[in-house]
Structure 1
Amino acid sequence: MAAEGKVDPMKQFTIHPVAGADWQLADGVGIAFTNSALWMAITAVLVWVFVAGGMKRALVPGRWQMAVETMTGFIDNLLEANVGKAGRKYVPYIFTLFMFILVGNLLGLVPLGLIPGVHAFTFTSHFTATGVLAILSFSIVLIVGFWKHGLHFFSLFWPANTPIFLALPISLIELVSFMVRPFSLALRLFVAMMAGHVLLKVLASFVIAGGNGGLGIGVAVGVPSFILMVAISALEILVAGIQAYVFALLTSLYINDAENLH
């Protein structure tokens, strides 16, 4: 019974192929369709369905259309507040980025483990996934910055009205800070999602161990752990939304640098 109560909190992050385990792009370079890719695809489809369902443009909008228009308006206001009128052209990208992260975060909290053989997977708990999203956002910033300002884009790292003896070290600090942005952007989301899921698994192991330990241990350990699990799950739903918002917000702030050199 004790062996049955053991829960590996890191096992939930294991990436394994669900199709094409022997597919290879080159010798030793596998391209199998993994569980992570599967849940990314599910997330992309759900976001597409959500948007498509709200594109009816009815004279009297229904709840679905209202939901899509509310989320679009939210992102539009976010960009206008941080980028200005020039930020409107980035609404499709920031909206898609926000919804993709939000839905991906929430799907990982769905208790599909109650269904035998089905397990939810939070791809945002992997640095490789969040890293690609961060690099994509950072690439847009670089492309826009150099496309719009040319070499004058480097003035972003040279603070105005700074004494000459301070300009060089401050410029180096600004450059390093700028280059670290994609890493910090990806790390923040990855750590937040991973930590919450590890905590839930640890609490789940306490619940199982309490149930296997008899009535006394079950009441003393299992019940408090279960109550804490419910509370942490509610908190994780909030964190899922906050992390998607923070990712979208920081991306809009970085785009503002490229557009306005602030």
Structure 2
Amino acid sequence: MATEAQGEEGGLVFHPMDQFIVKPLFGDGNVGMFTITNVTLWMAIAVLAIVGLMVLATSRRGVIPSRGQSIAELAYGFVYKMVEDVAGKDGVKFFPYIMTLFMFIVTANFLGLVPMAFTTTSHFAVTGVLALLVFFTVTIVGFVKHGTTFLGLFWVASAPLALRPVLAIIEVISYFVRPVSHSIRLGGNLMAGHAVVKVFAGFAAIAVVSPLSVVAITAMYGLELLVAFIQAYVFTILTCVYLKDALHPSH
């Protein structure tokens, strides 16, 4: 997982951020809008993995489920209950969209832990698009369902009258900052964790600290497995919270 190079003075040089470089899959050159890159490849692998789990593994449903069917049913029930508990009964109609979000993010996160793989959800270009889709979806739903009364989301009626305009400005700013925090939280956590693992892997080349480095890599890898799931869960549950605001815009 590490890239090491001998410097001019013989010391080890680490490049922990090299693993996040977007490269063309075929040949060299600049990356354009329609260039097939390593990001494209691993996003496609994530989609195929989801299809394999949610479609192929459940195609022969039995009373005694297979491992694949058990995982698919567990994921389905987990996300469904999350949507129902957080967004309410009205939010269940958006379950397919939220389930798709969760499965893509958690699958991409776990695939990024495979040696030599590329973590697509560590790129803000990917997480930013996902966050913007959520932002525009809940905003459109809010206006379609409630019309201009959706703006009541920004008016804190329970606050003293003199403070309401100030709080309204704060609410508007925080609303438009949502996609930024939504995307950075996911991408930043994954990028930081992978970079730390790569640094520890670089130290493994030094014989004196190699045993400690291996222990640190093992511990960090276990932590990254946990982070991969937690970040998918956080992204999804925040989506449910935002959807609840769109369906029930009141303080």
TM-score normalised according to structure 2 size:
0.91
* Corresponding residue number in structure 2 for 1:214: none
- Per the TM alignment, residue 84 of structure 1 is displaced from its structure 2 partner at its CA by 1.1
Structure 1 CA distance, aligned partners of 2:172 and 2:122? 28
Residue 101 in structure 1 maps to residue 105 in structure 2: yes
- Structure-1 residue corresponding to 2:237: 249
SS of the counterpart of 2:62?
coil
C-alpha contact 2:138 2:246 (8 A) present in aligned 1: yes
Deviation per residue, 1:66-112 (Å, 9 max, x gap): 2211111111110111011112112111111111111111111112x
CA 20–228 in structure 1, closer or farther in 2 if over 3 Å, else same: closer
**Equivalent in the alignment of 1:7:** 14
Aligned match of 1:35? 38
Q: For the Cα contact (< 8 Å) 2:53–2:69, is it kept in 1?
A: no
Secondary structure of the equivalent of 1:120? coil
Question: How many residue pairs align between the two structures?
Answer: 242
1:51 and 2:39 correspond: no
Q: Does 1:202 align with 2:199?
A: yes
1:66 maps to 70
Give the superposed CA RMSD: 1.9
- What are structure 2's unaligned runs of at least 5 residues? none
Shift of 1:143: 1.2
Give, in whole Å, the separation in 1 of the partners of 2:33 and 2:88.
Answer: 44
Q: Does 1:234 align with 2:234?
A: no
> Judging changes above 3 Å, is the alpha-carbon distance between structure 1 residues 23 and 260 closer, same or farther for their aligned structure 2 residues?
same
Task: Write the letter of the residue equivalent to 1:74.
Answer: F
SS in 2 for 1:6: strand
C-alpha separation in 2, matches of 1:98 and 1:66 = 17
Distance in 2, matches of 1:9 and 1:136, equals 30
Whether 2:125 is the aligned partner of 1:152: answer: no
Could you say which residue in structure 1 is the equivalent of 2:86?
A: 82
Conservation of the 8 A alpha-carbon contact between 2:83 and 2:91: yes
The alpha-carbon distance between structure 1 residues 164 and 76, as it changes in their structure 2 partners (threshold 3 A), is: same
Q: Whole-Å Cα distance in 1 between the matches of residues 223 and 168 of structure 2?
A: 40
Higher share in helix: 1
Q: CA deviation at 1:32?
A: 0.6
**Structure 1 contact 19–33 (Cα < 8 Å) conserved:** yes
> CA distance change for structure 1 residues 16 and 22 in 2, over 3 Å: closer, same or farther?
closer
Partner deviation per Cα, 1:22-77 (whole Å, 9 max, x = no partner): 799xxxx5421111111111101111111102243334433322221111111111
Taking the aligned partners of 1:12 and 1:235, their CA distance within structure 2 comes to 19
Aligned counterpart for 1:169 among listed residues 151, 166, 170: 166
